[in-house]
């Protein structure tokens, strides 16, 4: 049986719309490109130091940025390098020596594992380390920790702090008191 032109056109149209559509990858690639740029721009705003123990850092108005360094955590209970617990503070406080020997051994081990750049060797500077010390620690313990760091070759010591936002009061326009005052806090 011969089909009319209208019937053939109807069948072609029906077959064309019955096909399963393909996946349009252009739109998907556009979305992922935008997402990648968004994440790259927003990922560098905040540096977060990961520690195994809860360290209550002191407040500071410092504007310095933190680089990629070895982290040393000192809490009232323990001393840890990276995520590895090195010593108990109670055992260390009983000793009268300035250098903390288990900490010195671990820092030297970490120094051997880390390759030094030619610029660091030429400058003759020590390696960098970031100390996360609890604000309730005794200064004599912090002094011993820092002396041990220097003894192990880590002479560029940075103390981690929490950034405190400084609030300033704008000076008066002189209408009420005649003098302007500025308060920061």
Question: Can you tell me which residue has the tokens 């970031």?
Answer: 130
What ranges do the domains of the chain cover? 59-163
**CA-based Rg of the chain, rounded to a whole angstrom?**
31
Q: Is 0.75 surpassed by the pTM of this model? A: no
d(CA 137, CA 76): 6
pLDDT band of residue 175 (cuts 50, 70, 90) is: very low
User: Are the CB atoms for 45 and 38 separated by under 8 Å?
Assistant: no
Average pLDDT along the chain:
75
Highest mean pLDDT among 108-122, 147-161, 169-183: 147-161
- Supply the pLDDT for residue 168: 53
Helix (H) / strand (E) containing 70: strand 70-74
- Supply the pLDDT for residue 59: 61
The percentage of the chain sitting over the pLDDT mark of 70, rounded to a whole number, equals 66
Nearest to 126 by CA among 69, 172, 178, 63: 69
d(CA 71, CA 128): 9
d(CA 169, CA 181): 8
pLDDT in tens, 53-104: 566 666 665 566 556 778 888 888 888 888 888 888 888 887 888 888 898 9
- Starting from the edge strand earliest in sequence, which strands make up the sheet with 128-133, in order? 84-88, 78-81, 70-74, 128-133, 156-159
172 has pLDDT over 70: no
9 has pLDDT over 60: yes
Q: Quick one: tokens of 21?
A: 């559509």
**Cα 45 from chain centroid?**
9
Residue with the larger pLDDT of the pair 157 and 166? 157
163 has pLDDT over 50: yes
Q: Quick one: tokens of 7?
A: 């019937």
Nearest to 99 by CA among 79, 121, 71: 79
Could you say which of 2.60.40, 2.40.128, 3.30.420, 3.40.50 is the CATH number of the domain covering 59-163?
A: 3.30.420
Q: Quick one: tokens of 38?
A: 């968004």
- Supply the pLDDT for residue 181: 33
């Amino acid at each position: 049986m011969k089909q009319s032109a209208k019937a053939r056109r109807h069948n072609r149209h029906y077959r064309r719309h019955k096909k399963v559509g393909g996946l349009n990858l252009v739109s998907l690639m556009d979305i992922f490109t935008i997402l990648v740029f968004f994440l790259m721009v927003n990922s560098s705003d905040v540096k977060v130091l990961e520690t195994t123990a809860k360290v209550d850092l002191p407040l500071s108005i410092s504007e310095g940025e933190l680089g990629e360094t070895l982290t040393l955590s000192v809490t009232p209970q323990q001393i840890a390098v990276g995520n590895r617990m090195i010593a108990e503070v109670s055992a260390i406080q009983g000793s009268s020596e300035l250098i903390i020997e288990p900490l010195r051994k671990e820092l030297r081990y970490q120094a051997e594992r880390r390759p030094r750049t030619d610029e660091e060797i030429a400058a003759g500077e020590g390696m960098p380390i970031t100390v996360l010390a609890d604000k309730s620690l005794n200064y004599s313990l912090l002094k011993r920790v820092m002396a041990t760091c220097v003894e192990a070759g880590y002479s560029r010591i940075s103390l981690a702090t929490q950034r405190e936002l400084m609030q300033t009061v704008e000076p008066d326009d002189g209408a009420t008191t005649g003098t302007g005052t500025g308060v920061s806090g």
